[in-house]
Amino acid sequence: MQERSFGCQKVADKNIQVAVVIGGGNIFRGGEAAALGIDRTQGDYMGMMATLINGMALQNALEKQGLYTRLMSAIKVEQVCEPFITRRAVRHLEKGRIVIFGAGTGNPYFTTDSAASLRAIEIKAEVVLKGTRVDGVYTADPEKDLSATRYSNISFEEVYAKGLNVMDMTAFTLCKENGLPIIVFDMNKPDNLLNLVKGEEVGTLITME
């Protein structure tokens, strides 16, 4: 966790406002609840709590690097974090704090991607940065098809038409309807996040055009 926090530190040092939506799949995924005999709604809330555990871990790692943070939750857990309020989140960002959003949207049946798109729209973010295991959007799954080629730029409509898997359709449509660009990039490559915000070509840019 500390190693991955370094990218946030370097970006914050550039006076760029940073907000992070964090998942909890390494602990529990709501979508796996049925296989375990758990009600899906209950399972999704368990997943939301898992995101808060990860959020607290990320917050600790960032603050050990001397950064100021705020962890905000879509469900009330006031002993460990603030409830999400749009104006308060924006104010934290204006003050140079890294804001970590946990507990998804606060509702079952919505993914972390949907939470990221929704929060980005609410705080009027300039772009959604989706960190993955691969370095962008490909013509096919590059982990399965070695002939797959990467797009440097692609439109929302092309993604729909080609049936490409970028993020869940609810999240993707939210970004499209609000004209919010998405950049898909490899989050495991050192300095990728920093290079991206410096304007270098990293990953795949998805826009209206």
- Nearest residue to 45 (alpha-carbon basis) of 21, 59, 28, 22: 28
Tell me the per-residue pLDDT of 154-192, one tens digit each, with 9 for 90 and over: 999 999 999 998 999 999 999 999 999 999 999 888 888
Return the H-helix or E-strand segment holding 198. none
CATH number of 129-209: 1.20.1090.10, 3.60.15.10, 3.40.1160.10, 3.30.70.340?
Answer: 3.40.1160.10
Predicted confidence (pLDDT) at residue 148 exceeds the cutoff of 60: yes
Beta-strand runs (E) in the chain: 19-21, 69-73, 82-83, 98-102, 128-132, 137-138, 150-151, 153-155, 182-186, 204-207
Tell me the per-residue pLDDT of 40-81, one tens digit each, with 9 for 90 and over: 999 999 999 999 999 999 999 999 999 999 999 999 999 999
Residue 135 DSSP symbol? S
Give the Å distances, CA to CA, from 56 to 74, 82, 99, 117: 14, 12, 12, 21
**What is the number of residues in the chain?**
209
Q: What is the pLDDT, as a whole number, of residue 75?
A: 96
Planar angle of CA 79, 76, 80, nearest 5 degrees: 25
Fold for the domain defined by 1-125: Carbamate kinase (3.40.1160)
Beta-strand runs (E) in 65-168: 69-73, 82-83, 98-102, 128-132, 137-138, 150-151, 153-155
1 falls in which pLDDT band (50, 70, 90)?
very low
Q: What is the pLDDT, as a whole number, of residue 2?
A: 43
Between 7 and 128, the more confident residue is: 128
Tell me the per-residue pLDDT of 72-124, one tens digit each, with 9 for 90 and over: 999 999 999 999 999 999 999 999 999 999 999 999 999 999 999 999 999 99
Domain segments of the chain: what residues? 1-125, 129-209
Tell me the per-residue pLDDT of 192-202, one tens digit each, with 9 for 90 and over: 888 888 889 99
Q: What is the pLDDT, as a whole number, of residue 3?
A: 45
Tell me the per-residue pLDDT of 4-42, one tens digit each, with 9 for 90 and over: 554 676 676 677 899 999 999 999 988 788 888 999 999
Residue 165 tokens, joined: 């898997």
